[in-house]
Amino acid sequence: QSALTQPASVSGSPGQSITISCTGTSSDVGSYNLVSWYQQHPGKAPKLMIYEGSKRPSGVSNRFSGSKSGNTASLTISGLQAEDEADYYCCSYAGSHWVFGGGTKLTVL
Amino acid sequence: EVQLVESGGGLVQPGGSLRLSCAASGFTFSSYEMNWVRQAPGKGLEWVSYISSSGSTIYYADSVKGRFTISRDNAKNSLYLQMNSLRAEDTAVYYCARVGSYYRIDYWGQGTLVTVSS
């Protein structure tokens, strides 16, 4: 039950695009196309942004997109906005348990 | 509107016990699997436990196995987490979270803080 690997921080200017990677193993990310991404603002509960690797829940901006290659999933945010500044977590179902990434702090410069 | 409201958190001494509750509304609780997820202060998210819709299947993270017990009462639309033999490292905000299709965690409560300290 080891955590998925994410960069601790990323930054970008308004209007730019950023990508956050999430590396797991063949037992989690690589085995299941069931990676989710969550946005968490300080003091708030996480919010689902991407599920099944690339699908967006209703109401989530199409500026958010997800992909996966092998054991690595990625979240891309295009057209950065000030309100995108938050912590982002990836999560993979791994058969009888879930594993989260350590989180990435996104700073909008 | 899906709502999950946790309660029962507080300050407890090491070795003590606490029972968390989660009241669900806005959806058919008995049809959904549920998770508990925690977040230590300033740290990332950690999955804690899972329970199937009927309560017949349960999983735990290695870090809590043998000390925590998850349960549910579908008649009361409620989820529970009995926490025994608490340790300092169990200090965290505990979130109740719904499991949607294809094992995605789609809704979260606001969390309840558990502090284990003497």
- Percentage of chain B lying above the pLDDT 70 cut: 100
Output b/e per residue, B36-67; b: 16+ Cβ within 10 A. bbbbeeeebbbbbbbbebebeeebbbeebeee
**Residues of chain A neighbouring B109 (CB-CB closer than 8 A):** 45
Best CA proximity match to B63, nearest among A99, A31, A102: A99
Task: Tell me the mean pLDDT in the region B68-88.
Answer: 98
User: Is pLDDT of A72 > 70?
Assistant: yes
User: Is pLDDT of A1 > 70?
Assistant: no
A16-33 tens-digit pLDDT: 999 999 999 988 998 888
**Residue of A36, A44, A100 with shortest CB distance to B44:** A100
Q: Could you give the count of Cα atoms lying within 13 Å of B1 in the half-sphere of its Cβ?
A: 3
Residue with tokens 């960069």: A7
Contacts of B28 (CB under 8 A, 6+ apart): none
**What rounded mean pLDDT belongs to chain A?**
95
Task: Tell me the mean pLDDT in the region A74-81.
Answer: 97
Q: What is the CA radius of gyration of chain A?
A: 13
Instruction: Give DSSP secondary structure letters for A9-73.
Output: EEEE-TT--EEEEEE--TTTTTT-S-EEEEEE-TTS--EEEEBTTTB--TTS-TTEEEEEETTEE
- Let me know: does A38 contact A87? Beta carbons within 8 Å: no
CA of A36, closest CA in chain B: separation in Å?
Answer: 7
User: Is pLDDT of B76 > 80?
Assistant: yes
**Which of A1, A97, A99, A104 to mutate: most B Cβ within 10 Å?**
A97
Measured in whole angstroms, the distance separating CA B100 from the mean position of its chain's CA atoms is: 16
CA of B30, closest CA in chain A: separation in Å?
Answer: 20
Helix, strand, or coil (residue B6)? strand
Helix, strand, or coil (residue A104)? strand
Task: Tell me the mean pLDDT in the region B6-24.
Answer: 98
A95-104 tens-digit pLDDT: 889 999 999 9
The Cα–Cα gap between B53 and B35 comes to 11
